[in-house]
Amino acid sequence: MSTLLIKNGTVVTATDQFVGDVFISGEKISALGQNLNMTADKTLDATGQFVFPGGIDAHTHLDLPFMGTSSSDDFESGSIAALHGGTTSIIDFAIQTQGDTLGTAFNQWMEKANGKAAVDYAFHMAVTDFNETTRAEIRDLVEKQGVTSFKTFMAYKGALMVDDRQMVELMKEVKKHGGMVTTHAENGDIIDSLVQEARKNKQTEPKYHALTRPDIAESEATGRFLDMAFSGKHPVYVVHMTAESALNRVREATKRNQKVFVETCVQYLLLDASLYDQGFEGSKWVMSPPLRTKKDQLALWNGINQNLIQVVATDHCPFCMDQKKMGENDFSKIPNGMPGIEHRMELMFSEGVMKKRLSLNKFVDVTSTQAAKIFGLFPQKGTIAVGSDADIVILNPNQKHTLSSKTHHMNCDYSAYEGWQVQGKCQTTILRGQIAVQDGKFLLKKGFGKFLPRKKLDHTPCITE
């Protein structure tokens, strides 16, 4: 069993921080200590650097067929880009086609990833059609496949959206087997009505994407989702929250003793809707929900520090500019999504830790630990602890660099953060004891990544009685 010793770094977990050594035996961390008197096959000196748990991106869409095209990163290119930025595990979405079974989707996505993914990966099952047939599949997905989270869409009617009846039935069934329901919270009906009106008015530019998806559509759906969860005391998780008004629905729900898990994405913390005011260039940030205001950004940062938002993901779903152009004359045809999987850790470090918006521990918590805990990957993933997988990123806090499509590893011909100055660079990324990236070089083989079956979720009850 090969061994690796990381010496003298500043080791940080969601709770702890100490200067010391991490000893790795095979795929696992076997000891932590100061001046560990142990010899290893290989030693990395991390003096002056941070030693963080490898990042977990809980929301990615690799190789996703969507809106008549496919996201431009597959599991190979996307996962290699992820490793460059310190992310060692992802949870992607296997999305049911309406009319088809869940199993079919699961198999499709297993196949997409197999032999390609260079990071470890799990799947949320996106349920778009819940009926007696698909109900019967839930148990096996949880117990046999280790798929314990079930995503729903409250928007995209006719393609992905479920109605409230399906939602509450799914919640019941999923809880029975130890899983959890998550949702894309936007009221599809409100949005569709606005989109139709905008199109009728010949409002075709990308900015109308944002104007036809106002935050009230998100906060309504968020509130309704929490109400349905409350009605049956179900644990739930809201993906990619963007708006202060939506976060306030969570705050209101706490008053009835409800606990809710919330995810936001890097872009909602850093970018705002003024980016849409530049003609078709704005299509780069056409995603759903759209970018909001600076006031919303502030609410999200504070929501993190108030412990109301647990996870920061990316919703990585890149499309190249010629794909975006499918909507050149109609914003509603622009493929929704943007690239981001590579930059999450560094942006959160630079904008969060270095700008004193986040403590080091909170940085680890939101980029790695909470995703692992909430979705049943802990303690295998998400921390630097004895017995855990040796998924580690060594980050140099002093190195500055600039984000650009010219240098990024994602298969996307633009960067959503072109020219952004970042302080802090992932020097070394380690996955299960193997050095995956060092000094900008990818050292693993594609397909090294393993599927991660997940444990049943054993959350502290969403309402303690």
Helices (H), ranges, 8-163: 75-84, 102-113, 132-143
Identity of the residue, 116 or 209, whose beta carbon is nearer to its own copies in the bound complex:
209
299 near its own copies (CB under 8 A): yes
As a whole number of angstroms, the distance between CA 80 and CA 76 comes to 6
Q: Which residue in 49, 60, 148, 187 binds its own copies (CB under 8 A)? A: 187
- DSSP assignment letter at 459: P
Identity of the residue, 74 or 218, whose beta carbon is nearer to its own copies in the bound complex:
218
- DSSP assignment letter at 456: P
As a whole number of angstroms, the distance between CA 401 and CA 47 comes to 20
As a whole number of angstroms, the distance between CA 164 and CA 256 comes to 21
As a whole number of angstroms, the distance between CA 50 and CA 203 comes to 49
Site string for its own copies, 369-408 (x = CB under 8 A): x---------x---x-xxxx--------------------
As a whole number of angstroms, the distance between CA 76 and CA 437 comes to 14
Q: Which of helix, strand or coil describes residue 279? A: coil
Q: Which residue in 7, 135, 139, 157 binds its own copies (CB under 8 A)? A: 157
- Binding residues for its own copies, total number by CB under 8 A: 74
Nearest to 88 by CA among 362, 444, 353: 444
Q: Which of residues 352-371 bind its own copies (CB under 8 A)?
A: 356-359, 362, 365, 369
Q: Tell me the residue length of the chain.
A: 465
Least Cβ distance, residue 455 to its own copies (angstroms): 13
Identity of the residue, 139 or 172, whose beta carbon is nearer to its own copies in the bound complex:
172
Q: Strands (DSSP E) along 250-391, which ranges?
A: 261-265, 311-313
Identity of the residue, 177 or 224, whose beta carbon is nearer to its own copies in the bound complex:
224
230 near its own copies (CB under 8 A): yes
182 near its own copies (CB under 8 A): no
199 near its own copies (CB under 8 A): no
Residue type, 149: S
36 near its own copies (CB under 8 A): yes
460 near its own copies (CB under 8 A): yes
Lookup: tokens for 10: 């500043």
Q: Which residue in 57, 186, 192, 205 binds its own copies (CB under 8 A)? A: 192
Identity of the residue, 90 or 167, whose beta carbon is nearer to its own copies in the bound complex:
167
Identity of the residue, 300 or 426, whose beta carbon is nearer to its own copies in the bound complex:
300
